[in-house]
């Protein structure tokens, strides 16, 4: 079968093989093997790397799926040339790896490619692509986070805004539950801007690394509550 897919991660296998986890538009996530791909002269050696995006031909082998050919669309080499972008890109792949999905896979796939293209080829505020991707993940699963009013009582936000981790929504001081965290006005404004603009607008949205990291930590905590999965985000959170 022919699938349009991106490599999420890989594991070395016997001899010079490599097993890769593909996230495809058509089939979702599947493991497949690249035969002899760790050799220096291997024709498909670039297809074993994370971020490699292309058209993969995958066939049934003995006990596993085998990649027989790859037409690379975009290797995203630029991500490997900037350590901050590399870690942020890996964080995007980690999030997809932790998700379970069915009909959501098409929207997630499209958003992942948009996020990686923006991250690789444009200058954006640090964490902008990652924050935007997490916000969109919540929306895709019907868990929209941004709201202009308290989702409990409907009042306008004034001095204090909280995220209610029990339900993953924003609320005011009066409706603040036990499992909640206050979001500063700066973080709330970033949340609003990234919720209401697409990836092509991210280069125009500027904010400090400090504010971005604060909001990101809130979104990661919300992700862990919503999906019962812990994100490591190596190079960013640790």
CA distances from 185 to 174, 191, 214 (A): 17, 10, 12
The region, left, alpha or beta by phi > 0 then psi within -120 to 50, assigned to residue 229 is beta
Residue 121's pLDDT is what?
A: 98
Spatial CB neighbours of 163, under 8 Å, sequence gap ≥ 6: 145, 169, 170, 171, 180, 181, 183, 218, 222
**What architecture is the 2-75 domain classified under in CATH?**
Beta Barrel (2.40)
Tell me the whole-structure pTM to 2 decimals: 0.95
Q: How far apart, in whole angstroms, are the C-alpha atoms of residue 216 and residue 130?
A: 8
Q: How far apart, in whole angstroms, are the C-alpha atoms of residue 78 and residue 91?
A: 16
Cβ–Cβ < 8 Å for 17, 34? yes
Q: How far apart, in whole angstroms, are the C-alpha atoms of residue 54 and residue 88?
A: 21
What are the residue ranges of CATH 1.20.1440 in the chain? Answer: 78-227
Which pLDDT band holds residue 80 (cuts at 50, 70, 90)? very high
Q: Where are the beta strands (DSSP E) in the chain?
A: 2-12, 18-24, 28-34, 53-60, 65-74, 161-164, 169-172, 180-183
Q: Does domain 78-227 have CATH number 3.40.1350?
A: no
pLDDT digits (tens, 9 = 90+) for 107-160: 999 999 999 999 999 999 999 999 999 999 999 999 999 999 999 999 999 889
What are the residue ranges of CATH 2.40.50.140 in the chain? Answer: 2-75
pLDDT digits (tens, 9 = 90+) for 166-202: 999 999 999 998 899 999 999 999 999 999 999 999 9
């Amino acid at each position: 079968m022919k699938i349009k897919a991106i490599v999420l991660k890989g594991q070395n296998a016997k001899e010079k093989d490599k097993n890769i986890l593909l996230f495809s538009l058509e089939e979702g996530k599947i493991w497949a093997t690249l035969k002899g791909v760790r050799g220096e002269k291997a024709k498909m050696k670039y297809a074993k790397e994370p971020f490699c995006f292309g058209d993969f031909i995958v066939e049934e082998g003995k006990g596993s799926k085998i990649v027989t050919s790859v037409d690379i669309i975009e290797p995203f080499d630029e991500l490997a040339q900037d350590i901050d972008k590399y870690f942020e890109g890996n964080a995007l792949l980690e999030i997809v790896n932790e998700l379970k999905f069915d009909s959501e896979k098409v929207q997630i796939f499209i958003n992942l490619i948009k996020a990686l293209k923006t991250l690789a080829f444009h200058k954006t505020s640090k964490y902008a692509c990652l924050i935007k991707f997490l916000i969109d993940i919540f929306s895709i699963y019907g868990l929209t986070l941004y709201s202009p009013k308290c989702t409990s009582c409907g009042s306008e936000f004034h001095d204090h805004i909280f995220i209610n981790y029990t339900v993953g929504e924003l609320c005011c001081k009066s409706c603040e539950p036990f499992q909640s965290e206050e979001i500063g006005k700066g973080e709330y404004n970033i949340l609003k801007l990234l919720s209401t603009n697409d990836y092509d607008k991210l280069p125009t949205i500027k904010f400090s690394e400090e504010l971005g990291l604060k909001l990101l930590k809130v979104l990661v905590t919300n992700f862990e509550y919503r999906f019962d999965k812990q994100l490591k985000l190596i190079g960013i959170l640790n």
